[in-house]
Amino acid sequence: MAVNIYKDDLPADIDLGSIVAIDTETMGLKTQRDRLCLVQLSSGDGNAHLVQIAQPAKPSPVLAALLADPAVTKLFHFARFDLAALIHYIGAVEGDIYCTKIASKLARTYTDRHGLKELCRELLQIDISKQQQSSDWGAETLTIDQQNYAAGDVLYLHAIREKLSYMLERENRMALANACFGFLPERAQLDLIGFGDVDIFHH
């Protein structure tokens, strides 16, 4: 596994393929208050690419173009949060979206444990550490533990997607999952304009 770290943007000649796993790290859980610090990406080849976002942020044209490319599927775990952060701080996100948390909730109805750590353990027999989840992602230099944690959030998503898609197809829920994925950009926009705690489908 290689962990590549960049400042402000991806290199111009990078090719991450047609399905890119993406995750974000921020200074907290309130998108409009807590700035975006790190964007992690992987093509599923066992390597991770970490883009540190400076304060104040500088332009990220290569990353922005990747996010806006409709031909690239964006693969997330808990896409709702990551999409809101990316839209707010980088730019529009276009193309198909796949969220392993939503897929898990629709496919793995025998459990209420849908975190990435649990998915890695059950589906891939891999134990990942979440110890660095709450740490200073705005630091100028990331520790080795932070780098490994951040990489782990994207390295396994392609394999998890494959397992969950098989289960969704088996249970005849793939079309429903795709409909949910398609609504995620609008769900993120609702969060950004103040509807984060409101269930608009509730009576």
pLDDT (tens place) for every residue of the chain, 203 residues total: 799 999 999 999 999 999 999 999 999 999 999 999 999 999 999 999 999 999 999 999 999 999 999 999 999 999 999 999 999 999 999 999 999 999 999 999 999 999 999 999 999 999 997 766 779 999 999 999 999 999 999 999 999 999 999 999 999 999 999 999 999 999 999 999 999 999 999 98
Residue 139's CB is within 10 A of a number of other CB atoms, namely 12
Strand partners for 22: 41
Strand partners for 51: 6, 39
The domains located in the chain, with CATH, are: 3-195 (3.30.420.10)
Query: What is the distance between the alpha carbons of residues 2 and 25, in angstroms, rounded to a whole number?
Result: 19
Amino acid at residue number 182: G
Cis peptide before 61 (omega within 30 of 0): no
